[in-house]
Amino acid sequence: MRTINKSPGPPGFALVMESDVDLRAVICTSLLLEGHRVECVADCAAVLAWRSSVNPQPDAFVLALGAGEADPDWATLHVALDDDVVLSRAAVIVLLTIRNGLTFPARARILQKPFAMEELLALVETDVAHGLPA
């Protein structure tokens, strides 16, 4: 894995949602090795719960969607990513297997699975260094 040039300043904070335990561990470990703070959750309900926590809010959400059955809380999370004062501040990166009729916030950037880890790391780095994409 190549090392991405890090921008000066504090590390970014990414909240990763991936239901597959092994893939979640790989993504989270890769982000940690790049110097980011990371929290990992399994589903949309856990992402929604984050907005009421006392923890710092993420700079970026990395959301794996589209595999198998749709997460029953995706519709609620989708609305919250645009409308919730807490969740709407973070960048959104969607790791997509198949679309399954899903729609995403306008600011979402999509990586099709399988994806190169370096590509995901670069997107997170850009989001952290420069804020939300225009």
Q: What angle do CA 80, 86, 87 make, to 5 degrees?
A: 45
pTM listed for this prediction: 0.86
Output the tens digit of pLDDT for each of the chain's 134 residues. 333 444 445 578 999 999 999 999 999 999 999 999 999 999 999 999 987 776 788 999 999 987 777 889 999 999 999 998 888 989 999 999 887 778 899 999 999 999 999 999 999 999 887 665 43
Which structural domain range is residue 39 located in?
13-130
* Residue 122 covered by a domain: yes
Residue 6 within any structural domain of the chain? no
The CATH number of the domain where 104 resides is what?
3.40.50.2300
